[in-house]
Each structure stands twice: as C-alpha cells, then as structure tokens.
Amino acid sequence: MSNITIGQYYNVNSIIHKLDPRVKLFGTLIFIVALFVANNSVSYAIITFSLVAVIIASKVPFIRLIKGMKQILIILIISSLCNMFFVKSGNTLVHFGAVNITSGGVIKAAYIGLRLIYLVIGTSVMTLTTKPSDMADGLEKSLGFLKVIKIPVHEIAMMMSLALRFIPTLMEETDKIIKAQTARGADFESGGLIRKVKNYIPILVPLFVSSIERALELATAMEARCYRGGVRTKFRPLKYNKTDIIAYGVQILFLAGIICANLLS
C-alpha cells in the first residue's frame, strides 16, 4: 500500500498508526477540549508532555508536523499580538504613548500562540497516521448514532471514500485535458491574475462534463453490484483490540489530569 499519496498520510509502522481510527478521532477531540480548558502552566505542561510522547510514538518526523504551520502563521501572529496589546492585567512592562503592554497580556499571548500551534500539530498527528479510507470508516462508525436523527452517515462516508478513490483518476484526466488544450493553442502562462483564472475555463468545463459522465457510469456499476445503501457487511470491520482499550484509558486519564490541574489554580 506504499504508493497511495492522497492526503498527507505518512506511511510508517507505529503504535499510533495501528490504533483504531475511532480511538484517534476520540483522542483528537479530547485533545482539543483539553487545549481550550487549560488555563495554567501545569495543564500546559501536561499537554506538552503528552503531545511529545504521542509524536515520538508515531515515528512521524517533526518536520512533517510543522509543515502545516505555514498556513496559520498570520492568524497566529495577529491573535498573539491582539492579546499582548489589549489584555490589561498584572504589572506594566512597557508604556509608550497609547501602547501599554502588561505582564498578564504577554502571558495570555504566549498561551494563545501555544494553543494554536498545539492545535495544528495535534490534528496533524491524526491525519498523518490515519489513512483517509480508514478515517472515513472510523467517522461512519463513530457517528453512527446520528442515523437516529435521519442523517445519512453511511452515504456520506461512502461519498467520502468514492471521492478519495477518484482524486488520482481526475488528476490524470486534468493532465490530459491540459495537454489537449495546449496542443490546440491554449495559453496558461501569460496575462494577469484574472486572465490566468479565465484561462482555466477550457480545462474546467470538459473536466466537469467528464466527471458527471463518470459518476453516472459508476452509479450504474455500483447498482449492478447490488449496492443499495445501508444493509451490508464489512470486509474489514473495525474491531477494538487491547491497545485500543488501553489508549482510551490513557485519554481519559489525560483529560482527568487536565481538569485536576485546572482546579489547582
């Protein structure tokens, strides 16, 4: 399975990779909750320690984890600066005209920055260690209760995995269309931004048409193979094993630790 490069799945064999996707989804959720309730240095210490432990266990190189950081850099700087300038508590550190930076503001800014960084790293660990198809399976199973309120969970998960299956096919097709249009004299390089966007219309139109045709054929083929929605068994049913149960235990302990640390202050 080494040649699937959809999403950002990092293919190594680790404890974290082997966990049931439902465990990882739940863990990510708990991690996010913990990040947002943490309010003192002890709870941040627990979070930092746990995150580092998980990263080491996942065998994902640190570089891959901070790749996602580029996209949130601006948000990170703005939100930290806002906190620094507008939170007024503790001693005044710098006073310059209208600018008044307090020690409370600096601490708050540091926490907010750390929170955002941890959020990106924590969720990256999830996407780097879980195959998209497993993620779809895990979501289908763990959100199964939503069927009660008539949300078609199975259908949504099926659409997700079909979309993933067709990403490489459509990329190949896009490539072919670009070549075909270039051969007919289409120009994708010159012109300003708007011009460049407009240049892509001759690619998008045939791509849309062919995807709709594909979808129609796929639907027929699925029906011919007796697909009729929900009532089906699984070739690879998700099953919890010992490690998964232990991981759930660790997650609960982690959350309890955060709550205790919060109560300390």
Q: Contact residues for other proteins (CB under 8 A)?
A: 1, 3-4, 6, 133, 161-162, 164-165, 168-169, 172, 214, 217-218, 220-228, 231-237
Q: Which is nearer to other proteins, 18 or 198 (CB)?
A: 18
Q: Which is nearer to other proteins, 70 or 225 (CB)?
A: 225
Q: What are phi and psi of 96, to 5 degrees?
A: -145, 100
Q: Which is nearer to other proteins, 9 or 254 (CB)?
A: 9
Q: Which is nearer to other proteins, 110 or 162 (CB)?
A: 162
Least gap, CB of 151 to other proteins (angstroms): 22
User: How many angstroms separate the most distant Cα atoms in the chain?
Assistant: 75
Nearest to 41 by CA among 111, 106, 104: 111
Least gap, CB of 130 to other proteins (angstroms): 14
Least gap, CB of 214 to other proteins (angstroms): 5
Nearest to 35 by CA among 27, 44, 26, 45: 44
Q: Which is nearer to other proteins, 50 or 133 (CB)?
A: 133
> What is the residue type of 232?
R
Least gap, CB of 126 to other proteins (angstroms): 19
Nearest to 59 by CA among 17, 104, 1: 17
Distance between CA atoms of 128 and 7, rounded to whole angstroms?
8
Least gap, CB of 7 to other proteins (angstroms): 11
Distance between CA atoms of 216 and 205, rounded to whole angstroms?
17
Considering Cα of 53, then 58, then 60, then 64, what sign does the dihedral take?
negative
Q: Give me 40's structure tokens.
A: 């003192």
